[in-house]
């Protein structure tokens, strides 16, 4: 279900110069939010109660259908305020979609035009109104239709905004009160919003921090986006001014970006430098990565280089086990598997190598 709400009860007060701005009675002031990717969603509302009015909420003067003149100085036809007292306000820190329709980042007054079998969600520029009494349709930014779910099994006494079905790129928000649920889906372009967030961070102090530059470039490499900018970041991260000896990770990121850009010769040259700087664990992991990409010969060359450079230290024998198995030389793979077992630093690795030895002895290549 949704997250817990922060609600305050405001009781009638006297002698207070702010009385006109303080909700009277026992409506709850509530605030709820979620982060989806790098997008922050925040909702603030006053939550009325059913107070024994079950079956007398929707389509009445409590939550009217359509657009009506609400009196008390109001002369315009207005939608329901989707709460009580002051306007409900919803904000998005990045551009989003609402039920598939685009909405720019910002803060909006939120209203709902209710109908028996559908609802029109209204996002309006005015965030300082008292409910919808002085609603101005010319300030509407977006109207989108949704379908309410009636006859919910549990009575929702206080109006609530809850969050459901969150993924990396979307979340469902539902306004729930009495036995109605009014859902709508917020969509996020996770890739573009994350990239924009990274770019903003890199324009500040983090743009001089090699680990942050590496992380930003790595994300772009993984997503295959903004490669020119990522190359600039990783060039800075490997600049001798900042780092006298660039790390294996930084150089391998640069090599990967160059490869995606089609600069294969330059990519290979940078990767050779990375291998020279890599420790035994880094080279072992890189060899496994190459195997995963079906680059068997290249992986074998890395495993052999690692074994020679680090004089057979753990886990270089395990690397040769994998390499020879992939090449179809199971006899040599078994030899290095047994050597690796003698070096295994813990029970987990010993159990793994014991299983690999048994598989190789049965004439089965490693997967």
* Residue-wise pLDDT tens digits, 1-11: 343 334 433 33
Residue 352: pLDDT over 50: yes
Q: What pLDDT is stored for residue 25 in this prediction?
A: 53
Distance CA 6, CA 59 (A): 28
The average confidence (pLDDT) of the chain is 91
Q: How far, rounded to the nearest angstrom, does the alpha carbon of residue 287 sit from its chain's CA centroid?
A: 30
Residue 174: pLDDT over 60: yes
Residue 358: pLDDT over 90: yes
Compute how many other C-beta atoms are within 10 angstroms of the C-beta atom of residue 265: 8
Mean pLDDT along residues 189-197: 94
CB within 8 A of 327, min separation 6: which ones? Answer: 296, 300
What confidence tens digit (pLDDT) does each residue in 80-136 have?
A: 999 998 999 999 999 999 999 999 999 999 999 999 999 999 999 999 988 788 899
Mean pLDDT along residues 215-238: 96
Local confidence band at 257 (pLDDT 50, 70, 90 cut-offs): very high
Single out the residue of 342, 301, 347 nearest to residue 318, CA to CA.
342
Which stretch of 125-129, 241-245, 253-257, 341-345 has the lowest confidence by average pLDDT? 241-245
* Strand ranges of the sheet holding 96-98, from the earlier edge strand across to the other edge: 101-103, 96-98, 180-187, 170-178, 156-164
Which stretch of 209-213, 239-243, 319-323 has the lowest confidence by average pLDDT? 239-243
Mean pLDDT along residues 188-210: 94
3-state secondary structure the chain: CCCCCEEEECCCCCCCCCHHHCCCCCCEEEEEEEEECCEEEEEEEEECECCCCCCCCECCCCECECCEECCCCCCCEECECCCCCCCEEEEECCCEEECCEEECCEEEEEEEEECCCCEEEEEECCCCCCCCCCCCHHHEEEEEEECCECCCCCCEEEEEEEEECCCCCEEEEEEEEECEEEEEEEECCHHHHHHHHHHHHHCCHHHHCHHHHHHHHHHHHHHCCCHHHHHHHHHHHCCCCCCCCCCHHHHHHHHHHHHHCCCHHHHHHHHHHHHHHCCHHHHHHHHHHHHHCCCHHHHHHHHHHHHHHCCCCCCHHHHHHHHHHHHCCHHHHHHHHHHHHHHCCCHHHHHHHHHHHHHHHCCCCCC
Q: What pLDDT is stored for residue 131 in this prediction?
A: 78
Local confidence band at 13 (pLDDT 50, 70, 90 cut-offs): very low
Distance spanning both ends of the chain, measured CA to CA:
42
What confidence tens digit (pLDDT) does each residue in 43-83 have?
A: 999 999 999 999 999 999 999 999 998 877 667 889 999 99
Residue 20: pLDDT over 90: no
Q: What pLDDT is stored for residue 5 in this prediction?
A: 38
Single out the residue of 146, 118, 122 nearest to residue 132, CA to CA.
122
Domain ranges for the chain, please list them.
Answer: 6-188, 191-361
Do residues 230 and 207 make contact, with C-beta atoms less than 8 angstroms apart?
A: no
Mean pLDDT along residues 168-187: 97
Which stretch of 66-75, 83-92, 316-325, 349-358 has the lowest confidence by average pLDDT? 66-75
What confidence tens digit (pLDDT) does each residue in 229-250 have?
A: 999 999 999 998 888 889 999 9
Q: What pLDDT is stored for residue 242 in this prediction?
A: 82
CATH of the domain spanning 191-361, picked from 3.30.300.130, 1.10.260.40, 1.25.40.10, 1.10.760.10: 1.25.40.10
Share of the chain above pLDDT 70, in %: 92
Residue 97 tokens, joined? 């979609």
Q: What pLDDT is stored for residue 2 in this prediction?
A: 41
Q: What pLDDT is stored for residue 21 in this prediction?
A: 46
Local confidence band at 288 (pLDDT 50, 70, 90 cut-offs): very high
Do residues 49 and 63 make contact, with C-beta atoms less than 8 angstroms apart?
A: no
Distance CA 61, CA 123 (A): 22
Mean pLDDT along residues 219-230: 97
């Amino acid at each position: 279900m949704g997250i817990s709400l922060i609600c305050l009860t405001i009781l009638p007060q006297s002698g207070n110069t702010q009385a006109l701005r303080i909700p009277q009675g026992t409506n709850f002031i509530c605030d709820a939010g979620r982060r989806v990717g790098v997008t922050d969603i925040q909702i603030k509302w006053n939550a009325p109660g059913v107070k024994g009015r079950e079956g007398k909420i929707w389509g009445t003067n409590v939550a009217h259908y359509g657009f009506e003149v609400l009196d008390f100085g109001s002369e315009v036809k207005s939608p329901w305020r989707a709460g009580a007292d002051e306007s409900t306000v919803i904000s998005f820190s990045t551009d989003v979609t609402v039920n598939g329709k685009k909405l720019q980042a910002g803060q909006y007054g939120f209203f709902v035009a209710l109908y028996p079998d559908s609802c029109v969600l209204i996002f309006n520029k005015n965030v300082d109104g008292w409910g919808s009494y002085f609603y101005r349709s010319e300030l509407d930014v977006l109207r989108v239709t949704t379908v309410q779910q009636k006859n919910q099994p549990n009575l929702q006494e206080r109006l609530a905004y809850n969050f459901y079905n969150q993924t990396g790129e979307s979340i469902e928000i539902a306004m729930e009160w009495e036995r109605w649920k009014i859902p709508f889906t917020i969509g996020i372009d996770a890739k573009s919003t994350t990239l924009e967030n990274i770019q903003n961070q890199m324009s500040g102090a983090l743009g001089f921090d090699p680990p942050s530059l590496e992380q930003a470039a790595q994300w772009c490499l993984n997503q295959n986006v903004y490669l020119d900018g990522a190359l600039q970041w990783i060039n800075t991260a490997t600049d001798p001014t900042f780092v006298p000896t660039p790390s294996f990770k930084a150089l391998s990121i640069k090599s990967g970006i160059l490869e995606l850009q089609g600069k294969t010769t330059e990519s290979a040259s940078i990767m050779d430098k990375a291998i020279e700087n890599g420790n035994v664990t880094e080279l072992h992991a890189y060899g496994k990565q190459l195997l995963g990409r079906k680059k068997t010969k290249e992986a074998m060359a890395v495993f052999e280089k690692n074994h020679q450079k680090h004089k057979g230290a753990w886990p270089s024998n395990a690397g040769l086990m994998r390499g020879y198995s992939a090449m179809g030389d199971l006899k040599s793979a078994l030899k290095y598997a047994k050597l690796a077992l003698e070096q295994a630093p813990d029970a987990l690795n010993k159990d793994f190598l014991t299983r690999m030895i048994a598989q190789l002895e049965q004439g089965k290549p490693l997967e």
